[in-house]
Copies of this chain bind each other. A is one copy, B any other.
């Protein structure tokens, strides 16, 4: 039996055991997790959430490690959620990376947890979102959401983070163009890591070029757009009402460029909180989160209360006695309250 008010108290005082227990309730989709989150929400908004994603091999973990160090030096409490598409089987491979982080395990100001997605379709972002609220309540100053491996979850992470950092590195194959395409719009800050390697400038230039193309306004030729953006890109221009993602070079294993990165994060945070455009972005995220919570609650309620009916229909579909569309329709019509309609 979990005493929720005790658990809230433990979380508020930042007790690691209370945090782990809350994460477990959320992972297991325990009904009490929902009650806990209702209680915790009044303490929301403390943490600054940074999403870190990028191409495999770009050195994300080393960079995250460096960021932890830097924020710790500033006296800030840091939590890291590693979003991990690994299943129990292949888990070992990626877990190796995490071992590097164990140097922080004795540090009371650092909380690290892996969130396995294990082939989940959707659902990841919801439970990660729930864990974020726990970390807010536990008064972490910075939360780093790091995608591990394939990059399955990049878009989800963007939706949850205040600021999204995309990490690239020179020399990761000739098809980096394809990788960039999906990433361009999710990034608030770019890091070209391993910048001491050959090709770092070319990677940065490439990136700049692609970002310029994206920002060409309608009716303006490419060349004009490019010029305009190159000028703008000298720094984040929050006051222009639009955020222009800066491209920074880093050598994470030597801690080079990380202070500049943290500085860019702070500027982006200021953009989010002090400008109209930033406020609109935050509002959109709150709307998206509410919808996600609502839909999940709806599904959970139907699964819990109409389990028998669902499994009957399921049997019909699997045995080929009914098509899934008609069966779903009949079920939905049966469980929605016609009297309640507005």
Contacts and interface: CB of A to CB of B under 8 A. Distances in A.
Nearest to A93: B181
Given A121-B122, A151-B152, A210-B93, A56 B324 contact: no
Contact of A155 (B85, B92, B94): B85
Contact of A178 (B57, B87, B326): B57
A314 B297 contact: no
Given A325-B41, A332-B298, A309 B93 contact: no
Given A297-B328, A332-B301, A119 B314 contact: no
A37 interface: yes
Contacts of A324: 41, 286, 289-290, 293-294
A318 B340 CA distance: 24
B335 A283 contact: no
Interface in A273-304: 283, 286-299, 301-302
A89 to B, nearest CB: 5
Contact of A152 (B154, B173, B291): B154
Count chain B CB atoms within 10 A of each CB in A42, A56, A93 and give the residue with the most. Answer: A56
Complex copy number for this chain:
2
A57 B174 CA distance: 7
A243 to B, nearest CB: 15
A332 B294 contact: yes
A183 interface: yes
Given A214-B89, A292-B121, A183 B150 contact: yes
Contacts of A257: none
A86 to B, nearest CB: 6
A90 B181 contact: yes
Given A38-B329, A57-B173, A337-B340, 20 more contacts: A38-B326, A55-B173, A57-B175, A85-B182, A89-B185, A93-B178, A93-B181, A94-B181, A119-B186, A121-B156, A149-B178, A150-B182, A152-B182, A287-B317, A290-B314, A298-B299, A298-B302, A306-B340, A335-B337, A337-B338
